[in-house]
Amino acid sequence: MTISKLLAPGTRHAIPLVLFLLVGFAAPLLAVIGFSFVPARSFSLWQNWGLGNYIEIFNSTSYLSFLWSLGLAAITVLVLAVICYPIAYGLARVFGKYSTLVTLLFTIPLFVSENVRLYGWVLFFIKNGVLLGTLKSWFGIEPESWLFTNGIIVWGMVYVYLPFMLFPMTLGVSMVPDQTRDAAFDLGATRWQVFKEVELPLSMPGIMIGFLLSFVLAVGAIAEAKVLGGQQIIPISHDIEIAFTYAQNWPLGAALSVLLMLVVGTLVLLVLRRFDLDAILGRR
Amino acid sequence: MDGLTPRWRTSLIWSWTAAMVVFMYLPGLCLLLASMTSSRYFIFPINKWGFAWWEKTFASLEIHQLFRTSLLIAFCVTVIAVTIALFGALAFARYDWKGRSIYQKIVLLPIFFPQSVLGLSLLLWFNALGLTMSWQTAVFAHLVWIVPVCTLVISIQVYSFDPALEEAAFDLGATKWQVFKEVTLPVLFPGIFSGALFAFLLSWGNFPLSLYTTGADTTIPEFLYAKMVAGYTPGVPVLGTVSTVGAATLLLCGYAIILLVRRRRAASEHSET
C-alpha cells in the first residue's frame, strides 16, 4: 500500500519489465563490455583490463566484415523499400476487409526458424533442385546454380526481413488522412505530386522505423551468408561467432560485439529520438 | 475500397502482393516437395514419391524428446512473457507518467538488437554468474527478446482501451482486483491472446538465442540446423514442413477465435441495448 501511494500507476506497472530488462539485457551487455577489456583468450572477468583486443581488431581485416555487413544491409533495405511500398499501400488503402488476411499471410513465415526457410531456398536453387531440375527436364537447359554467390545472400536477406519493413511501413501509410489527400487532388495536384508532397512525408515515421528495423536486423544477419552464401562472405556476426566458438577467444569476440553494438545502438537512438511512438502505434 | 485509386492500379497492387505471397511461401513448398520422396537424396523432379520419411521421423524417439524440450521452453516463455508484458504494456500505453517516453524506447531496444550477439552476451553473463546452460537458461534468454515483442503487441490493444470503463467500475464500488478481473482483462483479451500466440511461436522457432543458451538440451531448430550442416536426410524437410504448417494452423485458429469472441461480444452488447 505504501508503494502504491509513493509511485504513479504507470511507474508501478513498469517495474517488473524494467527489473527484468536490467537483469536480462543491461547486465549481459555490461558483461560483454567488461569482457572486451580483459586479455585475449581468457575466460574470467577479473584480470588486468586493457585495450589489447581493440588494438588487435584495428590491425586486422575485421573491418572487411563490417563493411560487408553494412553494405549488404544497405542494399537489402533499398530493395525492400521498393518491394514493400505497393504492398503497404494496398494493406492500408486497397485491400479493405482482406487486409487482415494478407497481413496474416505475411506473418506466418516469421514463426518458422530462419534456417529452415533459407534451407527451402537451398532446395529451390540447388543443382537438380526444384528450379534447375524443372528447367533441365522440361527445357533441357542446365544453367549454373545461383547458390553461393553474393546475389543470393541479398535475396535471402530480402526474403527474411520483408515483414520487418512491411509492417511499420503499413502503419506509416495508414497515418495519411484521406482528407489531406483529397484536398491535394482537389487543388489540382498530379498523382506524382500527391505521392511526393503528401503521402511520402506524412507516412515518413512508419517508413523510417521500417528502414531502421530491417537495416539493424540485416547488419546482424548471419544465417543467409552461412546457409545460402556458402560462407564465401563472412559478415560481422559470423566473425563474432568464430571468435567465441572455434577460436575460443571470448575477449576478442566481446570487443567485436561492442563495436557492433555501438553502430546499432547509435542508429536506433538517433532515429527513435525523432519520433513519437504514441502517434505511430495509434494512441488517440 | 478506395475511389481515388483507378482500377488498373488496384489490380497491379493486388498482383504484386500475390506475387510476394508466393515468394514468401516458395521455400515452404520446396520443403514439402523434398519431404515426399522415398529416396535418400533430393533430386527434382521426384521419381519415387512416398511418405516413408514422414513415418520414420514421427517414430523416432530422439524427435519426440526434441518436441518435448521445445514445447516445454515455449510454454514457460509464453506464461512468463504474457504476465510481465501485460503490466509492461499498461505502463507503455495506458498511463501517462514521467519516464514513459524513455521507457518506451528502452523496451524497444532488445527487439532492434542482433539476436546472435544477444545470445552470446547472455552466454557470457550466465557464465560469469556460474550457471550451467540448460533449458531453463534458454527460457530466460528467449524472454529477453520475446517480452518486449509481446509488450508491443499487447500495447497496440491497450492504446484502444478506454480508461473510463475502469473508472466507471470503481464508481460502482468494485475493488481493484475486481476491476482488473472483470473489466481490464476481458477488454484486453484479444491483445493478450495475440501476445501469447506471438510469444509461443517466436520461442518455438527461435534459433540464435537457443544455440548459445540451451547447453546439453536441444530444440528442434537447433537439431535441424545441425542436420542441414552435416548429415542431411529427408527428415529435415519433414520437420520443416511440420513446423511451417503447425505455425500456420495455430495462427489461423487463433485469428478465428479472436473473430468469434468479437462477434459474440458484439451480439451480447446488441441484445442488452
Structure confidence by residue, pLDDT tens digits, B65-82: 998 999 999 999 999 999
Q: What is the mean pLDDT of residues A223-230?
A: 85
Question: Where does the pLDDT of residue B272 fall: very low under 50, low under 70, confident under 90, or very high at 90 and above?
Answer: low
Name A77's Cβ contacts closer than 8 Å, sequence gap at least 6: A165, A211, A214, A215, A218
What pLDDT shows up at residue A5?
A: 61
pTM: 0.87
Q: Please give the C-alpha separations between residue A158 and each of B23, B98, B268, in angstroms, as whole numbers.
A: 11, 39, 45
Residue B90 has pLDDT above 60, yes or no: yes
Element (H, E) at A70: helix A62-89
What pLDDT shows up at residue A284?
A: 44
C-alpha cell, A219 = 547488419
Range A60-281 classified under CATH 1.20.1430.10: no
Q: Is A15 exposed, middle or buried (0-12, 13-18, 19+ CB in 10 A)?
A: middle
Domain positions in chain A:
60-281
Chain A from 239 to 278: CB within 8 A of any B CB:
240-241, 244, 250, 253-254, 257, 260-261, 264-265, 268-269, 272-273, 277-278
Domain positions in chain B:
60-272
Question: Where does the pLDDT of residue A4 fall: very low under 50, low under 70, confident under 90, or very high at 90 and above?
Answer: low
Closest CA to A93 of A188, A203, A190: A203
Query: Cα B256 to chain center, whole Å?
Result: 16
Asked whether the beta carbons of B200 and B133 are under 8 A apart, the reply is: no
Complex-level ipTM = 0.85
Q: How far is B147 from chain A (nearest CA, A)?
A: 8
Q: How far is A218 from chain B (nearest CA, A)?
A: 8
C-alpha cell, A267 = 542508429
Does residue B187 belong to the interface with chain A, where contact is any CB pair within 8 Å?
no
Residue A125 has pLDDT above 50, yes or no: yes
Q: What is the mean pLDDT of residues B255-269?
A: 83
CATH topology for B60-272 is MetI-like fold (1.10.3720)
